[in-house]
Amino acid sequence: MRFPWKSAAGVVPLVITLAGPAAFAAAQETHDHLVTQCVDIPPGQDRPEFGCFVIETARNLTFAEPTIYWHLRKFPSRRAAEAAKTKAGVVGEVQGQVWLSDFGPQEMKLEGGENVAVIGPLELPRAKTYDAVFMEAVMRPLDRSRVHTHPGPEAWYMLAGEQCLETPAGARRASAGGSMTVPPNVPMELMVVGTAVRRSLTLVVHDSTQPKAIPSVWKPTGRCLQQPSAP
């Protein structure tokens, strides 16, 4: 199975060469590299500068089809976004910007806001209801996620920087303006590569009866520290 890198320009296959981690030596910093998971921050509590944070969760959603797309739009105010969202929509505010996530077929009639991206397909596991968890991640070069799986698909929209996702199928990358998806129940480790702070909007749609993330014993091989060849 081969995973493509998806961007606004289309789908670009990625070929990995066997260059060593020295290619990314410039990304090394003196900080302790985070191994992070996405967490809820209670109201009134200060959020750390770096990490992955749950912004909003839409609970107990139902979908008519087993495949959906993530329709991501920006709005000038939360009130405008709330007025425009569908039944399955979720509104979140990230660094002063209001985002609306709606879910449905690839071609979907939606009103209002600025269309940013349509990301998918997202293949849903069989479940009675689903939760859609909308998150923001801010991570530094060589910060990484814990090794884990999700009981549902995960998707990213990249705001800044570059990330690399390693799964048993290989490694693939996305950078600012691009997107990436992964199917349910796939072991993964995400790493920030390049030299810039990476910021992304992240979505997990999962079976409501299960946690959004589950630790995995799968061992990554370090492919994200190998330099990609030109497409």
pLDDT tens per residue across span 54-92: 999 999 999 999 999 999 999 999 999 999 999 999 999
Q: Is the dihedral of CA 89, 93, 99, 101 positive or negative?
A: negative
Helices (H), the chain: 78-84
For residue 231, is pLDDT > 80? no
Name the amino acid, one letter, at 99. W
CA–CA separation, 43 vs 23, rounded Å? 41
Name the residue among 94, 98, 100 with its Cα closest to residue 71.
100
Domain 5-61+124-225: top CATH class: mainly beta
Q: Is the dihedral of CA 228, 165, 3, 136 positive or negative?
A: negative
pLDDT tens per residue across span 82-128: 999 999 999 999 989 999 999 999 999 999 999 999 999 999 999 99
Percent of the chain with pLDDT over 90: 75
Question: What is each CA distance from 121 to 16, 124, 147, 195, in whole angstroms?
Answer: 24, 9, 23, 30
